[in-house]
Structure 1
């Protein structure tokens, strides 16, 4: 199968210390929270990958690998057939991915599964075939990197990655390294709280979102582009509606000197309303303030 079919589970198993047998896990798994808005579609034949783990029973249909997975429910007979191919015991942190073919029905759009996080549910009515394929990694593991140039042609590698059971529940990690590989800045935040990272549903679009997230800061901006600060007792002026709030250690004199030097500046979205801006300070990077979005 292709890499986007490799979803979820390792972190979920670790978090809950899943060491029970498969039958015990099935008993403890959370009940389906399926919407009952309308009747599911008519029974048809499905092929794809079933992902089984703690608080996760998902299906990725062949040909729809880059779409969000569907929550899975199944008849008692289908469950019994599926359990025949799954290990009866497993090590902590492991999950299972099974290539399946079955007759079943797909729900209309709604809110399904654990935390009502899935837009569709698939009912497995009759299992045709099942083959244990692998023990998967997390569903939203994605990464990207760019090169940012500091003063005097110094180069930095900026990398961004996400890890989590789903993209909606993943964490974004930003790391900046100098040319020697030393870490000079790090930041981490839930993707759900970062504009641009809060919408991708699968690994492929999340990779593109990460590239855009860090690519913005590598465009070559300098502190010359910070707004003026004409009056001591007032904050810097708004630049086209973009307010800049310097860090508490930066007074007006320091700010104006920094602005006059046109120092290379790396900014990245740090939430839903602002950018964090960094400059070089000796052998590390330092945050100089927050640039609010217009409006």
Structure 2
């Protein structure tokens, strides 16, 4: 009788619906944004019940662990229909590349007169001031062939959105 009951439990467990494996993945990268002595971090995450439905979250944290910049979007909408539902390997490879920023300074951004409409949300005076001060600038992919760039403002202790820019080739 005990064997029959044990067999019944095993059979029922095999028939019960299985929860989806999910697509909760992350990659982390250490770098220096505001000070060469400090170790800041970036974490790129995929969060979702499946990889084709995952939200991408990009968070920059200072050396003390405070979030100084974050960006999020459904991965499918930002980067296209390239994430298969259960393809955690491909999604992890994407995160491992996405977490690597492009580090420049604000002088690498185009002059005000060369901006495309909508490329920045700053007014002309603020934009030109930030650009002239040659502040540290971090750019990360925010879509297919598109980067969002933020600047580090030492006086405020935080990062601010600077420009969005098209890039000709991506390695994502």
Verify same fold: TM over 0.5: yes
* Offset of residue 178 of structure 1: 1.0
* Equivalent of 1:162 in 21, 41, 46: 46
Distance 1:279 1:209 in 2: 24
How do residues 174-185 of structure 1 correspond to structure 2 at under 5 angstroms?
174-185=58-69
Runs of 4+ that moved beyond 4 A: none
Residue 283 of structure 1 pairs with residue 168 of structure 2: no
Match of 2:131 among 236, 259, 272: 259
Superposed CA offset, 1:157-209 (max 9, x none): 110111222211111111221111112222221110122x7424311221110
Matches within 5 A, 1:1-295: 84-86=11-13, 96=18, 138-153=21-36, 154-195=38-79, 198-201=81-84, 202-215=87-100, 217=101, 219-229=102-112, 235-237=113-115, 245-247=119-121, 249-251=122-124, 253-272=125-144, 274-281=146-153, 282-294=156-168
Residue ranges of structure 1 left out of the alignment (5+ in a row): 1-80, 90-94, 97-135, 230-234
Question: Over alpha carbons, which structure has the higher Rg?
Answer: 1
Q: Shift in Å at residue 220 of structure 1?
A: 2.3
| RMSD over equivalenced CA pairs, Å | 2.9
Instruction: Judge conservation of contact 2:45–2:95 (CA < 8 Å) in 1.
Output: yes
- In structure 2, distance between residues paired with 1:170 and 1:152: 33
CA distance in 2, matches of 1:258, 1:159: 26
1:137 CA displacement: 6.2
Aligned length: 155
Is the 1:226–1:244 contact (alpha carbons within 8 Å) kept by the matching residues of 2? no
Q: TM-score, normalised by structure 2?
A: 0.74
Mind listing any 5+ residue stretches in structure 2 that lack a counterpart?
Answer: 1-7
Q: 1:128: which partner in 2?
A: none
Greater helix share, 1 or 2?
A: 2
Which fold has the larger relative contact order, with Cα–Cα distance below 8 Å and residues 6 or more apart in sequence? 2
